[in-house]
Amino acid sequence: MYFTGIDIGSTSAKTIVLGEDGGILYKSVRPTGWSSVDTAEEIRRTLLDKGFDAEKEPCTATGYGRISVPYANKTVTEITCHAKGAVHLFDQQDMLVIDIGGQDTKIIRIEHGQVRDFMMNDKCSAGTGRFLEVMANSMSMRPDQMCEIAEEGSGSGVSISSMCTVFAESEVIGLIGKGEKQENIAYAVVDSIISRVASQCSRLFSPDVPVFLTGGLCECDYIRRDLGRRLGSTIRSCPDARYAGAIGAALMARRLK
């Protein structure tokens, strides 16, 4: 028997299939696109091609588009799934999880393996992956390139002050027009994201609790290190951390057997 977890987020859809022992048998990530329903159907067909039938074996959906997965046996909130996925990935019962997603940032405090408290930035995309993507597009580069270049910059007094993505993009375009160095603009953009996430963490952060980064930006070492510096804590992650929500959903599916 196997267990499928599908996390359809605002910008990307993650799929995880776990075996009986909790090991990952299959994983994938794809753009959500304009239709979560179409994406869910594409995931179902892809799973079938790989030898996994999500309609016959336990399947749980989570994320922004979880109601768009008709073959899922159950839908579960993102907070619950991200927490369970993080506990499974990092083998910790007490932790703070920072999930920087496409359209929101989730801060989850976990105690004894359960969600104790959480905060979400879901009113504005500032401090999220989407914010970084828009700013990177303004500079004709990929988000990962912007993170790499940001590490080379010093800011030199350049800052992005607006919390609105549209106005922040205008600031970036203005800086480009003034001939500001590319690395300094990149530094300012990434610094604004880190500053907002660090501020969001302040209420739930405790120096004696380990901190882990999940979400689409978890593989950006620069964000992880600098955010840790702001918080005064070492932040850890792993490549599969971007699948935390889908892993949590698959673990919830295991309860359905």
**What digits encode the pLDDT tens for the residues 116-173?**
999 987 555 555 667 778 888 888 888 788 888 887 766 566 777 766 777 777 888 8
**Structure confidence at residue 122 (pLDDT):** 54
* Confidence at 210, pLDDT banded by 50, 70, 90: very high
Note the pLDDT of residue 156. Answer: 62
Cα–Cα distance for residue pair 33/10, rounded to 1 Å: 8
Higher pLDDT, 96 or 191: 96
Which of residues 114 and 185 earns the better pLDDT score? 114
Q: Return the minimum-mean-pLDDT range out of 26-40, 151-165, 208-222.
A: 151-165
pLDDT digits 0-9 by tens, 102-119: 778 899 999 999 999 999
Average pLDDT, rounded, for the chain:
88
- Which residues, 6 or more positions from 147, have their beta carbon under 8 angstroms from its beta carbon? 132, 186, 190, 217, 220, 222, 223
Q: Using the CB atoms, write b or e for 49-86: b if 16+ within 10 Å.
A: eeebebeebbbbbbbbbbebbebbbbbbebbbbbbbbb
Q: Of all residues in the chain, what percent carry a pLDDT higher than 70? A: 93
pTM of the full structure: 0.88
Band of pLDDT at residue 27, cut at 50, 70 and 90: very high
User: Does the pLDDT of residue 69 top 60, yes or no?
Assistant: yes
pLDDT 10s digits, 89-104: 999 999 999 998 777 8
Give all domains of the chain, ordered by start, each with its CATH number: 3-79+244-254 (3.30.420.40)
